[in-house]
Amino acid sequence: MYPPVAPAQPHTRSIHGDVTEDPWFWLNEKDTPAVIEHIEAENVYTENVLKPTVALQETIFTEIKDRTQETDLTVPAQRGGFWYTTRTEEGKAYAIRVRMAGGPHGAPQLVLDENVEAEGEAYFRLGNLSVSEDHRFVAYSTDTTGDESYTTRIREIDSQQDLPDILEECRYGLAWSNDGSYLFYTIADEALRPFQIWRHEIGTDQARDVIVHQEDDDRFYLGLGKTRSGSYIVISAGSAVTESTWVIPSDDPTSEPREVLPRVGGVEYAIDHRGDVFWIVSNDEGTDGRLVTVPVEGGSPTEVVGHESGRKLIAPMCFADHVLVWGRADGLPAIFEVRGSVLVPIEFDEPIYEVTPDANYEFSTSSVRYAYESFVTPRSVYDHDLTTGERTLLKQTPVLGDFDAALYVQERLWAPSRDGVQIPVSYVRHVDTPVDGTAPLLLYAYGAYETSMPVRFSIARLSLLERGVAYAIAHVRGGGEMGKAWYEDGKLAKKMNTFFDFVDVASFLGETGHCAPDRIAARGASAGGLTMGAALNLAPRSFAAMVAEVPFVDVTNTMLDAELPLTVVEWEEWGNPELAEEYAWIRAYAPYENVEDVAYPPLLVTAGLNDPRVSYWEPAKWVQRLRERSTSGAEVLLKTEMSAGHFARSGRYDLWRDEAIVLAFVLTRLGAV
């Protein structure tokens, strides 16, 4: 029996002639004792239902732990006269930041030990970490509730003493002036939208800080950083479809910000700096971007490389003598070298992979450092010489035990969606797992914000693959895998494409023998949780089980409440339901409102009580409605973290245990234990 719940309370919404009843609306009253009692009872119930899997959970946790080299060190990266690195130690949940003077093999000096900062806290997250240009101070921001409101402190590295300076209610992004006398930071408004950039003078009280820039358009978030040259502090403002940027000379930190290019609706651009020009990737003349330069003193763009449809350019990366552009091509991440007016891609061997910038602190260098990995290749850090083309492997993350990459098979598949579009699918299995329509499979998706789902190596995933469960990512529309058009074809009025794609990928995998059609589990988080909920309503019989983590499932009500975090900003992603046409888009797929009286599979749903991105009550309400209407009798479980937010628990051991819970749920419901 499900836990007892307080009686439903009538709540009627009427808009655009559509009248809906929401009996679980009262669950949004976080400070009401009945709500907390309800959530705690749900946690007890979920724990009891999952008790038969406890032994399997412990086995999986042990497998993850035993395959992980707990005491480890990232590749030291030079920045001036120091080499910075991050260390982990067996038995400690958080990272330790250290540096070596004079070379990578010198005696380590402590910069910041996250384990010390996390002592006594149920939750801990480091949001920002920034060392001053003179290497004297480290500014660091911490969150101990999960609400993503950070307290920033400034520590003298040599003495390991914090200055009296304390900056409250900060968001993401820090930037130092070059002389180390000023620190720039971001503040959010009541809706948790970063809307102000402030300048703090080291050694003074926050009350004396100065507002440098304020964004009054509710659709825009502010960001903060520096060019790789170190010459400019960069303030960026971005909505879902438009970006603009201001710069402040790092040697003249009290000067006024200067806009690089005028803001134009629908135009996005990203900048870096070298010499007397800003290098800019902009989509002003094509959705997938072109590369231009603009004089640092201002002026019109000069094209370096023109737009090419399907070759997505994301951001420039400047070195003293070289310029790179990060992007995507053929559905895969790409690094392009700028050679005159031509972009030359760096080539990789595997059919699917992920490549990301690593620590590239030095501006005057001929090498770029990047991290490469795939479903079968652990994270590998390379230095790539841009003059000779030589690639040097610096470190591959060790996988302890008997791991052998040759025992796994990865593929890029293409699944036809119902409108004929080919959906890229990244797929991996153990070499002994048959492709004869009998294997179980876990299918993952996201599908929003032009975010491309990375093909990363996972030690935890080995616990699935070793038990004969295949794994796949459906790179559905709404993400950015295939360029800007791919994103635009899965948002606003076209959002249903995201959900159709996911259902059609599941069907394809079953029809082609990559898995058994009746042994597919689905998993997604946040906006990917929306994909889960909408796909579940479209095709409940397509999934043998589902995991929806912090799922965005009450889309209509959230998008109608402009006082909630993210809502106004998100209108350009989902639509504004105050407008009748856009209300119809959302109403057609909103998971909470489209639950029907059908047989739903077993579900494990998670939430964070302090989540500022997806309010805990969205999954809580959805779970109640699913239970009311499901005709299958299969369990619908809700697991809420009471001291965390959107990113679940924080320490690595807690995260491993949480992953073990999810994998044990999936394995048992797929009959793969």
Query: What is the rounded distance in angstroms from the CA atom of residue 199 to the CA atom of residue 206?
Result: 9
Ordered structural domains, the chain, with CATH: 12-64+401-669 (3.40.50.1820)
Write the pLDDT tens digit of every residue in 304-332: 999 999 999 999 999 999 999 999 999 99
pLDDT at 95: 98
Query: What is the rounded distance in angstroms from the CA atom of residue 394 to the CA atom of residue 411?
Result: 26
Of the candidates 509, 453, 501, which has an alpha carbon nearest to the alpha carbon of residue 477? 501
Q: In which band, very low, low, confident or very high, does the pLDDT at 649 lie, cut at 50, 70 and 90?
A: confident
Residue 221: CB atoms within 10 A of its CB come to 21
Query: What is the rounded distance in angstroms from the CA atom of residue 356 to the CA atom of residue 231?
Result: 24
Query: What is the rounded distance in angstroms from the CA atom of residue 666 to the CA atom of residue 672?
Result: 8
Write the pLDDT tens digit of every residue in 335-357: 999 999 999 999 999 999 999 99
**What's the Cα-to-Cα distance from 338 to each of 113, 214, 231, 361, 424, rounded to whole Å?**
39, 35, 21, 20, 28
CA-based angle 601:547:416, to the nearest 5?
Answer: 80
List own/partner pairs for 559-567 with CB under 8 A and 24 or more apart: 559/586, 560/13, 560/15, 562/191, 562/218, 563/190, 563/191, 564/191, 564/615, 565/191, 565/192, 565/193, 565/612, 565/613, 566/191, 566/192, 566/193, 566/612, 566/613, 567/191
Which residues have a catalytic role annotated? Answer: 526, 611, 646
Write the pLDDT tens digit of every residue in 404-460: 999 999 999 999 999 999 999 999 999 999 999 999 999 999 999 999 999 999 999
Query: What is the rounded distance in angstroms from the CA atom of residue 413 to the CA atom of residue 423?
Result: 8
When pLDDT is averaged across residues 91-110 and rounded to a whole number, the result is 97
Quote the DSSP letter at residue 451.
Answer: P
* Kind of pairing between the strands at 603-608 and 545-549: parallel
**What's the Cα-to-Cα distance from 448 to each of 281, 524, 525, 574, 647, rounded to whole Å?**
21, 12, 11, 9, 18
> Residues with Cβ < 8 Å from 461, sequence gap 6 or more?
375, 428, 471
Is the pLDDT reported for residue 59 higher than 90?
yes
φ, ψ at 319 (rounded to 5°):
-120, 170
Is the pLDDT reported for residue 4 higher than 80?
no
pLDDT at 203: 96
DSSP string, 56-110: HHHHHHHHHHHHB-SSEEPPPEEETTEEEEEEE-TT--S-EEEEEESSTTS-EEE
| Of the candidate ranges 2-6, 447-451, 463-467, the one whose mean pLDDT is the lowest | 2-6
Is the pLDDT reported for residue 104 higher than 90?
yes
Query: What is the rounded distance in angstroms from the CA atom of residue 560 to the CA atom of residue 586?
Result: 11
Of the candidates 544, 577, 494, 571, which has an alpha carbon nearest to the alpha carbon of residue 672? 544
Write the pLDDT tens digit of every residue in 589-604: 999 999 999 999 999 9
Is the pLDDT reported for residue 2 higher than 90?
no
pLDDT at 504: 98
Is the pLDDT reported for residue 6 higher than 80?
no
Write the pLDDT tens digit of every residue in 473-499: 999 999 999 999 999 999 999 999 999
Start-to-end CA distance of the chain, whole Å, equals 25
Q: Give the chain's length.
A: 673
Of the candidates 320, 230, 236, which has an alpha carbon nearest to the alpha carbon of residue 274? 320
Query: What is the rounded distance in angstroms from the CA atom of residue 501 to the CA atom of residue 487?
Result: 13
Is 154 strand, coil or helix?
Answer: strand
Q: Looking at 287-388, which runs of residues are DSSP E strands?
A: 290-295, 302-305, 311-318, 323-329, 332-339, 342-345, 354-357, 367-373, 380-385
pLDDT at 648: 84
pLDDT at 235: 98
SS (H, E, C) 554-599: CHHHHHHCCCCCCHHHHHHHHCCCCCHHHHHHHHHHCHHHHCCCCC
Write the pLDDT tens digit of every residue in 561-591: 998 888 999 999 999 999 999 999 999 999 9
pLDDT at 5: 75
Contact between 408 and 376 under an 8 Å Cβ cutoff? The reply is yes
Write the pLDDT tens digit of every residue in 185-209: 999 998 889 999 999 999 999 999 9
Assigned token pair, 269: 């651009």
| pLDDT above 90 coverage of the chain, percent | 96
| pLDDT above 70 coverage of the chain, percent | 100
Write the pLDDT tens digit of every residue in 218-264: 999 999 999 999 999 999 999 999 999 999 999 999 999 999 999 99
Is the pLDDT reported for residue 30 higher than 80?
yes
Q: Which residues pair with 311 in a beta bridge?
A: 329
When pLDDT is averaged across residues 46-55 and rounded to a whole number, the result is 98
Contact between 305 and 343 under an 8 Å Cβ cutoff? The reply is yes
pLDDT at 647: 86
The residue type of 344 is V
Of the candidates 320, 141, 149, which has an alpha carbon nearest to the alpha carbon of residue 231? 320
The chain-wide mean pLDDT, for the chain, equals 97
Of the candidates 256, 192, 270, which has an alpha carbon nearest to the alpha carbon of residue 227? 270
